[in-house]
């Protein structure tokens, strides 16, 4: 090797870089199986009075095994469009079909809700099709309050319950989200464990967007809630003016561990998004629903 080649090789070795392992491949539980009954997904919209002036879309998944004579378990997803897509990172309807058929999770109705949009009005009615749309996402998801839980309790769950029999048992209710939707899921459980006790967070925003960086201290000092918590984050997650996502999630893990919460910490080495969490989703659901009361 000549001198110039050696210098080039040495320069490469000295450059800072990060290696990212490829996400895990999708296993059979994230793929359609010919012999597994398929659930049904329908799209709806709801206007909120708890978040005044907002309109939002939501999707409802009903498993093939649903029996109206028995209350079904419930799982709510923030940023519902991202979780409900069969071509997305999580493929939730496919995963639910497979796990429910195996009885690895209870018969569960999935509710996939998007954040509210403040939309222009035409003839006194909000319109999706025209004008500038403004998202209410950060206010709803990142705020440290019980307002979003109240929206679920008073508006969204009753809307779905008009058509389907839903459980009122908080131990048969789970809530899930990604990024700000992840901290939102935790806030609902933290503020209202009488409503939801199973929490799943993917790359949750436990940073100082609207005060969420305080959760580890609150967990360490506060009253222990009857929660079961799944946390996934990647070591190459965001690092910006709000904080470091990886460190925020690691602090959450250590605080939950310190107070002996039943929780599962799933560290990966990816970035912000669902690429790491998606393939791990079926096993995450198995753990989340472990020891859940039966709906049968």
The string of pLDDT tens digits covering residues 116-127 is 998 776 556 666
Q: Give me the domains of the chain, ranges plus CATH numbers.
A: 40-288 (3.40.50.1820)
**What pLDDT was estimated at residue 24?**
83
Give φ, ψ of 260 to 5 degrees: 60, 35
Q: What is the mean pLDDT of residues 245-272?
A: 99
Confidence of residue 109 (pLDDT cuts 50, 70, 90): very high
Give φ, ψ of 235 to 5 degrees: -70, -10
**What pLDDT was estimated at residue 67?**
98
Q: What is the mean pLDDT of residues 52-80?
A: 98
Angle of CA points 257, 270, 231, to nearest 5°? 25
Confidence of residue 23 (pLDDT cuts 50, 70, 90): confident
Sign of the torsion formed by the C-alpha atoms of 84, 87, 91 and 95: positive
Q: What is the mean pLDDT of residues 148-155?
A: 99
pLDDT tens digits for range 222-246: 999 999 999 999 999 999 999 999 9
Q: What is the mean pLDDT of residues 13-29?
A: 69
**Tokens found for residue 239:** 């690092």
pTM: 0.90
């Amino acid at each position: 090797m000549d001198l110039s080649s050696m210098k080039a090789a040495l320069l490469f070795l000295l450059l800072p870089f990060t290696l990212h392992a490829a996400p895990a491949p999708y296993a059979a539980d994230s793929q359609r199986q010919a012999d597994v009954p398929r659930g049904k997904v329908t799209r709806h919209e709801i206007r909120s009075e708890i978040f005044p002036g907002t309109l939002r879309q939501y999707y409802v998944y009903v498993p093939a095994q649903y029996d109206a004579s028995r209350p079904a378990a419930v799982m709510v997803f923030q940023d519902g469009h991202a979780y409900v897509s069969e071509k997305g990172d999580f493929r939730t309807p496919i995963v639910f079909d497979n796990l429910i058929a195996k009885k690895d999770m209870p018969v569960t109705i999935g509710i996939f809700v998007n954040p509210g949009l403040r939309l222009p009005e035409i003839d006194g009615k909000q319109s999706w099709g025209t004008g500038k749309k403004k998202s209410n996402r950060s206010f709803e998801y990142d705020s440290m309050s019980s307002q979003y839980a109240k929206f679920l309790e008073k508006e969204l769950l009753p809307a779905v319950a008009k058509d389907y029999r839903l459980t009122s048992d908080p131990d048969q209710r789970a809530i899930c989200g990604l990024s700000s939707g992840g901290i939102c899921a935790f806030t609902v459980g933290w503020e209202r464990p009488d409503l939801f006790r199973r929490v799943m967070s993917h790359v949750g925003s436990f940073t100082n967007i609207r005060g969420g960086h305080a959760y580890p201290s609150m967990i360490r000092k506060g009253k222990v809630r009857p929660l079961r918590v799944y946390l996934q984050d990647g070591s190459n997650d965001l690092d910006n003016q709000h904080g470091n996502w990886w460190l925020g999630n690691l602090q959450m893990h250590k605080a939950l561990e310190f107070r002996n919460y039943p929780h599962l910490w799933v560290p990966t080495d990816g970035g912000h998004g669902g690429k790491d969490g998606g393939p791990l989703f079926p096993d995450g659901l198995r753990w989340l629903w472990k020891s859940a009361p039966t709906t049968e």
